[in-house]
Amino acid sequence: MKALGDMKGFGGMKGLGGMKGLGLALAFALLGCLATASAGVAAPPIASPLRTAVMQVDWQGPLSLPPRFRNHCAIDSFSGRPYCSAHCGFDYQFFYCAPQSFGCCRIGFGYCDWNGLLRCHP
């Protein structure tokens, strides 16, 4: 029985050296494809029906809130990120999407949608 290093590989190459080169070439080709695809331009944001500046985030720290809502701030024990509850109650986070859309959601579950409206997902 022949040893693995003595067996002929693909294209008459010995051992697994040819396979390593082929794998490396495929890895670089995949990396090149991913880099090219990620350099594309994203679609422009959709205009808000509220006609105001819209904050589209899933987490809002204290500095992103208007000053009147920066109260009852703490650090989330799970993620380590700061948040403000602004009289929402324990385990709730205050979100400000637009002057017409703000309120309370459970910590980590609120977000501002593309229309500038507050959404709380379960």
Q: Phi/psi at 98 (nearest 5 deg)?
A: -160, 165
Helix (H) or strand (E) holding 17: helix 17-38
pLDDT digits (tens, 9 = 90+) for 3-23: 555 545 545 445 545 667 777
pTM: 0.51
Q: What is the DSSP letter of 14?
A: B
Residue 7: phi and psi, rounded to 5, are -80, 150
Specify whether the backbone of 51 is left (phi greater than 0), alpha (psi in -120 to 50) or beta: left
The length of the chain in residues reads 122
Q: Range with the lowest mean pLDDT among 3-12, 68-77, 102-111?
A: 3-12
pLDDT band, very low/low/confident/very high, at 56 (cuts 50, 70, 90): very low
Euclidean distance between CA atoms 53 and 41, whole angstroms? 22
What's the mean per-residue pLDDT of the chain?
73
Closest CA to 46 of 119, 114, 112, 97: 114
- Provide Rg for the chain, Cα atoms: 26
pLDDT at 41 over 70: no
For residues 29 and 115, give the distance between their C-alpha atoms in angstroms, rounded to a whole number. Answer: 39
pLDDT over 50 at 101, yes or no: yes
Higher local confidence (pLDDT), 88 or 58 = 88
